[in-house]
Amino acid sequence: MTAYQDGDRAAFALLVERHEKPLWNFLKRFVGDDASAEDLLQETFARVVKSSAEWQPEAKFSTWLYTIARNLCVDHARRGRHRRATSLDAPTRGTGNQSSRDSEPERGLHEALADRGAGVERQAMDREFALQLEAALTALPEAQREVFLMREQLGLPFAEIAQAVGTSEATVKSRMRYALEALRDALSALHQVDPGQQASR
């Protein structure tokens, strides 16, 4: 990014190559459709270009990038809620409880999944699981979903997530814990997640 600020256009191409895929995956799971994710991906990198002079070398580029992407997702979600509200069919969804349970979850959801083998039956089960996971992610309160995706999809440390979403690290950890619990509950019917593991967290 420093090189790009100094006029090296090839450096920007390298930034895009390095971050495009994980960023698109994050956006896709946040907004739920390919077209919107692609639009937001382009807008994110456009914002990087427009605001490049604002980035300081002391800041981690990935955190700055994902903060831009996250804010665009929030704006997109708000516009979507407004459109649904004006059509009188907006669904309601809880906001989640922010408690003092702020210890760091030891493992992500993917590590709580049982081992699934190959074969037609297993492949069908995997497809069903993927659909159920997408539905469960969509049903999460927005604040929990963004933390889960930043942690699991992007692999960001909790401290960087806290910086990106503008809250404390303890709150981020609490949101992650509630997201994991909600996802495990939603997926337990498929017997892909052992609910007993929840008690050990």
Comparison of pLDDT for 6 and 104, the residue scoring more:
6
pLDDT tens digits, residue range 140-177?
888 899 899 899 888 889 999 998 888 999 999 999 99
Q: Residues 12, 49: contact at Cβ < 8 Å? A: yes
The structural domains of the chain, ordered by start, are 2-86 (1.10.1740.10), 109-199 (1.10.10.10)
Of the chain, the percentage scoring pLDDT greater than 70 comes to 68
pLDDT tens digits, residue range 79-134?
765 444 333 344 433 434 444 334 444 343 444 444 444 455 555 556 676 777 77
Q: What is the pTM of this model?
A: 0.60
Q: For residue 193, which phi and psi values (nearest 5 degrees)?
A: -120, 130
Alpha carbon distances (Å) from 40 to 11, 24, 46, 191: 21, 8, 10, 35
How many CB atoms sit inside 10 A of residue 183's CB?
Answer: 23
What DSSP line would sit under 27-50, residue for residue? HHHHHSSHHHHHHHHHHHHHHHHH
Residue identified by tokens 């708000």 is 78
Alpha carbon distances (Å) from 131 to 29, 91, 156, 167, 190: 12, 20, 25, 31, 11
